[in-house]
């Protein structure tokens, strides 16, 4: 008999609404994310603006809602002015973050035009590395002020009559990291972020601002950085950021499959840190979390910035993802949804080519990596309220995170349609799991899809773009208020239930 597990789906037990901003992505001027990723004038499928229509279509299919831009490490040495105005007058610059050449043929206005075509909200990052309050204010005036001032008229003279009205702004990127241009101490950054936030809120109190949290949970100042930064900025910012990348260090796949446990712990730690600061400051305000960089990234394969030369859009960290990576990505999305009461924004890093669900060849095709599928299905079907789901199941010992539940799950319930969607990962690589689901009465199973494969290292490629796709799972057998189904070993699953018609 395979291991078994039980869980209950009860629409009365809610965590909070699914914020569409949880399905965000990230476009950085890095490698081939912009150039030959989303933007490739001259490509047979490029539109009049030079945007790849195949990538635009895949972006819409992915279900991305918000896209962070223009970095990342790139932003900390970026002059936004270089990327606006007549293209032939734009300067080429050194991108010190990725030791690349930036020709600036794509900038703010191109990004905003692309975002409109993709149907996504934009989330802009400000350079608080090598620049400060003045340049941040200038960018926001250029982007958001209707007209009648030097910078808003400059935008209009660039052919953009209406303001972009960007609502979501990141106050810099990873400034705790010594690799960052303009790296700062928490005290230095906290002060700069506070003064920038104060000025931006004077410009428009309705802007949502994200203060930089730690670059990752392994940073020596993890936790204390957030506390110090929030003490300086608490009443002026809306979010604190989190970043995390996972890979199977030393081939430890069991720990890798448990990455969601680490992400969950990070979220709880930073939420507690924010609440601690709020309590100290006697504030009624709740700071939300912006998990604005997360993904699987095989960092050990990257030779580091110093290994790079001064070339334009080199092939940089173009990780090819396999089935196990897709299961982990699915489990990270489950983790974000499980924390929907606290995480208000999340961006998978990145969108195209650079550790991305979408891969392209210059002049050639675009295709879906394995990790595309759990993202697209979750973004499409996780609607309404997130339900509290606590599976009763076996524990799996892991070297990195201790004992973790074999089944990692969440569910959503959409009152408007009556649909309930269960998302579940079986972390057990060696055995399937028979899952029993307690349901409200009158439900029927609509569909059970899984991402699993006899070869967990299978991947998609330009030659075989459909090698790994979601496949039908065991199906859920519903009898009265119980559904039973089988989860394959090391699998990500989506199971959809709907109200049965009176005849069923
Ligand atoms: O997404 C790649 C890089 O990872 C980003 O530029 C940086 O913010 C992070 O360290």
State how far the Cα of 39 lies from the Cα of 163, in Å rounded to an integer.
Answer: 23
pLDDT per position as a tens digit, 347-372: 999 999 999 999 999 999 999 999 99
Q: What is the pLDDT of residue 346?
A: 98
State how far the Cα of 155 lies from the Cα of 219, in Å rounded to an integer.
Answer: 40
Q: What is the pLDDT of residue 90?
A: 98
Asked whether 350 lines ligand 1 (CB < 6 A), one says: yes
Task: Identify whether 174 is a catalytic site residue.
Answer: yes
Q: What is the pLDDT of residue 302?
A: 85
Q: What is the pLDDT of residue 144?
A: 98
pTM of the model: 0.97
Annotated active-site residue in 28, 81, 226, 293: 293
Q: What is the pLDDT of residue 3?
A: 87
Asked whether 59 lines ligand 1 (CB < 6 A), one says: no
Annotated active-site residue in 28, 174, 318, 450: 174
Q: What is the pLDDT of residue 2?
A: 83
Three-state SS for 117-157 is: HHCCEEEEECCCCCCCHHHHHHHHHHHHCCCCCHHHHHHHH
pLDDT per position as a tens digit, 370-398: 999 999 999 999 999 999 999 999 999 99
DSSP symbols for 36-102: TTTB-TTSTTB-TTSBBHHHHHHHHHHT--EEEES-SGGGGG--GGGGSS-GGGPPPEEETTTTEEE
Asked whether 319 lines ligand 1 (CB < 6 A), one says: no
Q: From ligand 1's centre to the CA of 270, what distance in Å? A: 19
pLDDT per position as a tens digit, 289-325: 999 999 999 998 888 888 888 999 999 999 999 999 9
**Ligand 1 atom 1: residue of nearest CA:** 349
Q: From ligand 1's centre to the CA of 75, what distance in Å? A: 10
Q: Which residues of the chain are modeled with pLDDT < 70?
A: 502-504
Q: What is the pLDDT of residue 19?
A: 97
Asked whether 349 lines ligand 1 (CB < 6 A), one says: yes
Q: From ligand 1's centre to the CA of 30, what distance in Å? A: 9
pLDDT per position as a tens digit, 466-492: 999 999 999 999 999 999 999 999 999
| Average pLDDT across the chain, whole number | 97
């Amino acid at each position: 008999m395979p291991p078994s597990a039980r869980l209950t789906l009860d629409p009365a037990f809610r965590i909070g609404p699914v914020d569409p901003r949880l399905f965000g992505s990230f476009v950085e001027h890095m490698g081939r994310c912009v150039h030959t990723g989303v933007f490739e004038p001259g490509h047979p499928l490029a539109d009049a603006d030079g945007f790849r229509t195949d990538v635009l279509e895949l972006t819409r299919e992915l279900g991305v809602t918000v896209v962070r831009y223009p970095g990342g490490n790139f932003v900390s040495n970026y002059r936004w002015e270089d990327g606006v105005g007549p293209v032939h007058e734009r300067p080429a610059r050194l991108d010190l973050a990725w030791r690349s050449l930036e020709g600036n043929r794509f900038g703010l206005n191109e990004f905003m035009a692309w975002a409109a075509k993709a149907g996504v909200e934009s989330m802009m990052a400000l350079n608080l590395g090598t620049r400060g309050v003045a340049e941040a204010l200038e960018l926001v005036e250029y982007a958001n002020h209707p007209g009648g001032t030097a910078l808003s008229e400059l935008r209009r003279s660039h052919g953009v009559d209406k303001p972009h009205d960007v609502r979501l702004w990141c106050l810099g990127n990873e400034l705790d990291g010594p690799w960052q241009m303009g790296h700062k101490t928490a005290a230095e950054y906290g002060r700069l972020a506070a003064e920038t936030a104060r000025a931006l809120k004077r410009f428009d109190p309705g802007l949502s601002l994200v203060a930089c949290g730690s670059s990752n949970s392994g940073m020596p100042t993890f936790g204390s950085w957030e506390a110090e930064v929030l003490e300086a900025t608490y009443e002026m910012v809306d979010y604190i950021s989190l970043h995390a990348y996972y890979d199977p260090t030393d081939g430890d796949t069991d720990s890798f499959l448990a990455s969601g446990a680490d992400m969950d712990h990070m979220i709880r730690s930073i939420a507690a840190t924010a609440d601690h600061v709020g309590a100290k400051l006697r504030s009624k305000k709740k700071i939300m979390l912006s998990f604005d960089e997360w993904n699987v990234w095989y960092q050990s394969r990257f030779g580091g910035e110093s290994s790079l030369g001064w070339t334009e859009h080199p092939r940089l960290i173009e990780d090819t993802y396999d089935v196990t990576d897709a299961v982990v990505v699915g489990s990270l999305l489950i983790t974000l949804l499980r924390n929907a009461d606290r995480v208000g924004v999340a961006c998978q890093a990145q969108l195209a080519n650079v550790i991305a669900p979408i891969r392209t060849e210059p002049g050639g095709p675009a295709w879906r990596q394995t990790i595309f599928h759990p993202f697209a299905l979750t973004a499409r079907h996780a609607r309404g309220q997130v339900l509290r789901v606590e599976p009763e199941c076996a524990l799996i010992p892991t070297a990195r995170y201790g004992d973790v539940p074999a089944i990692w799950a969440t569910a959503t319930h959409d009152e408007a349609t009556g649909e309930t969607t269960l998302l579940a990962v079986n972390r057990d690589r060696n055995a399937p799991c028979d899952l029993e689901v307690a349901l409200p009465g009158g439900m029927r199973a609509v569909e059970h899809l899984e991402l699993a494969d006899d070869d967990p290292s299978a991947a998609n490629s330009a030659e075989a773009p459909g090698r790994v796709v979601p496949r039908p799972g065991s199906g859920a057998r519903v009898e009265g208020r119980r559904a039973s189904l089988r989860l394959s070993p090391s699998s990500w699953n989506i199971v959809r239930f709907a109200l049965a018609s009176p005849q069923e």
